Structure 1
């Protein structure tokens, strides 16, 4: 293989200056977006329409809430201990109350009260039925075009009882409105529909179980259908537990917010308020039970205290009658007051410990605090007793008796007062929680947020469209620059041919087989594509100085790369230098060079090879000045065998002697084997690639096949470069593998 001429290398490398890698990347990405702008716009539009449709047709979701206040609470003995009672108070934190609200005890009672395990609703027209129903004020005519029982109006149903066997739980039953308040209940597993009346309990069944149905209200025209589902109570309770949102408003505020979302705002409000009512009710019942328990304890203690009081009074009176009035000095009075106070506190602490011992172990912090307090009281009382022993005997006896009277009297009065208060608590139904704000029917849905939904759909459409565009570019993008071919494939690029808008018009005339001459080099000799071919012409003159023959083969990897355009215009430009040039259309499958010159196909190359026509008669003389043309002739059924005919080799040798240059346009290498048989007869083989169409793998495979056939390509012509692209002349494309595929080809613009 001849080495590339220095001018040839200069032309290949002088097309553009490479830009910085990062800058190129950004410009390349921008070009991908611009190239696929209509695809991205279409995907975005579809996504936006889907978003609008969803926003309009989706079932609205409402949210309501209620507020509950949990107040500080203590046992009934809290008032006994005054300021010390704060150490003994066992306050229930909001987190514990939240779990109580969420418990099956509360939620289950709310489910039972609202019959939430019965799901009954109209059978709406699919997709659009609910949208119309939300805006309807009257009943609709059942069915679509009279078919089916779907509705789209203000139909409603209320089912008071719907007990089904366990095997039917979760199944959909169909209720159809009849005449005069009647209805039918259907299920695929029922032997026949059951008929009932609104407001009347319907019972039926067999060995599998009993059905109990009571429809309290049914609004719909005859034929309108509803769906009723008897759900598992446990599953409904668990689902409601999961759906409830509970949180404390502020740290240690004691204000609990309970919120819930549902598509039925009336049911939503009813369920929430029922949960609040059940929670307040259980709190009152719990407090009443605690009060009763403490009251029972006090009722058992009061008679003993009263008896102790009477005994202490009798003893004190007997002592006074015997000794007379004993005057206590100031120190004795102080000791008496302190002793009474400490004894009262000691007894109250002991009683509190008895109450807490029933709830907690001895290691509980509250029990330990009480034990420490009792020990402290005992120590102080022991100190007072030692001071009492220092008093005169008469004063000691008088002080002891008076202390017993006052202590027993104070304790008795306190216990009696507390007993009265506990009776009020028990009878007054007062707890330590209250409902601050009841749930109200929400006016606006919280979902879907229509504006946000549409904007999100548009954003997803843009992102999705861009991702598809980049995926297409990564998987199917063709070669974009000469540098890409040379750097990644190691092939020499002889010329880059810009895309010509004028050639598009010329190609259209060729495609429609209009008469006349359709050659860009003659119609617009100063077009940028023609100028690039002139540079190629100059490069070829130097390249072929040492060539073994004067024959040039023009081919491509696949159809549609513009090889016929290159062949016609290059041959025209070569002829314009005064050389005698023969252009041969050797694409015996789909060749159409004759259309560029407004000539018929018949009587050409194939006819000469089979001997039906002489070469001199087959050649069209001077189709343009200095250029002769040999068309394909009649398209043969066996083109691959025809090019192997010795007559074809003889033809090439003969024409090579008659002309200064013979330029042959052949079939694409990957589409047909013809070119591989022709290539060894040519000293110059030009491989045409189309920018952004020809894949690197295709070009690599074409080159490999030509080399295996005995003739490496002289160089590559990169056709249809889009000079409007910002990355023009730069390269950054990862080498891809060749993919075998079937080809069909026809006329191609440059």
Structure 2
């Protein structure tokens, strides 16, 4: 079978080869015939072919044109023009004035609704009037922002107003202890403490600032002084008061920084050593200013507020929450703290109103401050 298959295949290949040779012979024969045709005859054939095609297309178009002419002449319109159209001077649509009025009305409605909604959802303090509505604790000062030279002068005048208000608070003690705290960090408590000390010192009274925010101290950065020895060093017995005291950082202003961060700040503040420290300082200084931790975060500020003659809680416009005022009001009543007062910091100074004087210390009112 294998040899038979081989033989059959050889025969098929031979037959195919013969057919191939015959086809090549036919091709060569016809090529020679084509080459024998004259050149002009081939060109004439090409031109005749194109002419015939164009002629057929032209005749077809002529027939369609004639058909269209016949149809249009045989159709009679059933409509006729009764009167010429009158063109208006202005377009009927769109009504531009109507669209503008509707847009203005809708914009006004949406804008007012959006403003009321934002005001309703915004629970931050804005102006001094918010304190009268929410809390019974008086507002001792409203401090504007210090964006430019005018704002800085208004800031200084507001600090003078605060200084004047504090003179009528805290009784007639020889030395007044003022504790400044805030709800959370970032409300300007340390800056207010430093500025208040400067204003009091400008009257010729000796002032000392104690940085009692031993967890996150910043007082040494404000004065650009060292913080190696401070309150924590004195209360723990590592150093003496004289070693921790940094004298005449400013004119009539001494400072005791917080010192190294202790593991137990609250325990240090309730020791007898802290009371003795305050008694010693009270004999030398007219004002003792505590820069305390935020009352909303740790309990240190509560201890210091009881020790102080005046407790100032610093809030910030567009930052502090209104609900915090209610909590402070409730807290002061529960713990019988009658020495508390608010400071509103960072309000927008009005170019029209400038600044004014307030007397919130005596009547529990905040009228007349910056708006």
TM-score by structure 2 length? 0.61
Q: Following TM superposition, by how much is the alpha carbon of 1:488 offset from its aligned partner in structure 2, in angstroms?
A: 3.1
**What is aligned with 1:644?**
270
**Aligned: 1:496 with 2:142:** yes
Cα distance in 1 for residues equivalent to 2:257 and 2:269:
14
Cα distance in 2 for residues equivalent to 1:498 and 1:525:
7
Secondary structure of the corresponding residue to residue 168 of structure 2: helix
Cα distance in 1 for residues equivalent to 2:233 and 2:349:
42
Q: Following TM superposition, by how much is the alpha carbon of 1:566 offset from its aligned partner in structure 2, in angstroms?
A: 0.8
Cα distance in 2 for residues equivalent to 1:632 and 1:476:
36
**What is aligned with 1:540?**
166
The Cα RMSD (Å) is 3.4
Distance verdict in 2 for CA 1:570–1:461, change over 3 Å: same
Distance verdict in 2 for CA 1:579–1:475, change over 3 Å: same
Cα distance in 1 for residues equivalent to 2:185 and 2:209:
19
Q: Following TM superposition, by how much is the alpha carbon of 1:468 offset from its aligned partner in structure 2, in angstroms?
A: 6.0
Task: Count residues in correspondence.
Answer: 259
**Aligned: 1:626 with 2:272:** no
Distance verdict in 2 for CA 1:471–1:644, change over 3 Å: farther
Cα distance in 2 for residues equivalent to 1:586 and 1:691:
25
**What is aligned with 2:338?**
712
**Aligned: 1:592 with 2:218:** yes
Q: Following TM superposition, by how much is the alpha carbon of 1:467 offset from its aligned partner in structure 2, in angstroms?
A: 5.7
**What is aligned with 2:261?**
635
1:446-483: CA deviation from partner (whole Å, max 9, x where unpaired): xxx9xxxxxx99x9999878766644432233222223
| 2:123–2:322 Cα contact (<8 Å) kept | no
Cα distance in 2 for residues equivalent to 1:685 and 1:629:
19
**Aligned: 1:479 with 2:105:** no
1:624-671: CA deviation from partner (whole Å, max 9, x where unpaired): 010000111112233222322222222112211221111111111111
Which of 310, 325, 329 pairs up with 1:699?
325
**What is aligned with 1:550?**
176
Cα distance in 2 for residues equivalent to 1:537 and 1:575:
10
TM-score by structure 1 length? 0.31
Secondary structure of the corresponding residue to residue 296 of structure 2: coil
Q: Following TM superposition, by how much is the alpha carbon of 1:533 offset from its aligned partner in structure 2, in angstroms?
A: 0.5
**What is aligned with 1:660?**
286
| 1:707–1:713 Cα contact (<8 Å) kept | no
Distance verdict in 2 for CA 1:544–1:669, change over 3 Å: same
| 1:703–1:713 Cα contact (<8 Å) kept | no
Cα distance in 2 for residues equivalent to 1:670 and 1:548:
31
Distance verdict in 2 for CA 1:638–1:460, change over 3 Å: farther
Q: Which runs of 5+ in 1 are unaligned?
A: 1-448, 450-455, 504-523, 730-750
**What is aligned with 2:316?**
690
| 1:557–1:694 Cα contact (<8 Å) kept | yes
Distance verdict in 2 for CA 1:488–1:682, change over 3 Å: same
Cα distance in 1 for residues equivalent to 2:106 and 2:268:
57
**What is aligned with 1:606?**
232
Secondary structure of the corresponding residue to residue 186 of structure 2: coil
Matches within 5 A, 1:46-195: none
Q: Higher relative CO (CA 8 A, sep ≥ 6), structure 1 or 2?
A: 2
Distance verdict in 2 for CA 1:484–1:501, change over 3 Å: same
**What is aligned with 2:35?**
none
Matches within 5 A, 1:244-393: none
**What is aligned with 2:185?**
559
Secondary structure of the corresponding residue to residue 227 of structure 2: coil
Q: Following TM superposition, by how much is the alpha carbon of 1:543 offset from its aligned partner in structure 2, in angstroms?
A: 2.5
Q: Following TM superposition, by how much is the alpha carbon of 1:610 offset from its aligned partner in structure 2, in angstroms?
A: 0.8
| 1:556–1:667 Cα contact (<8 Å) kept | yes
Cα distance in 1 for residues equivalent to 2:260 and 2:108:
52
Distance verdict in 2 for CA 1:478–1:567, change over 3 Å: same
Q: Which runs of 5+ in 2 are unaligned?
A: 1-93, 95-101, 356-371
Q: Following TM superposition, by how much is the alpha carbon of 1:554 offset from its aligned partner in structure 2, in angstroms?
A: 1.1
| 2:151–2:349 Cα contact (<8 Å) kept | no
**What is aligned with 1:440?**
none
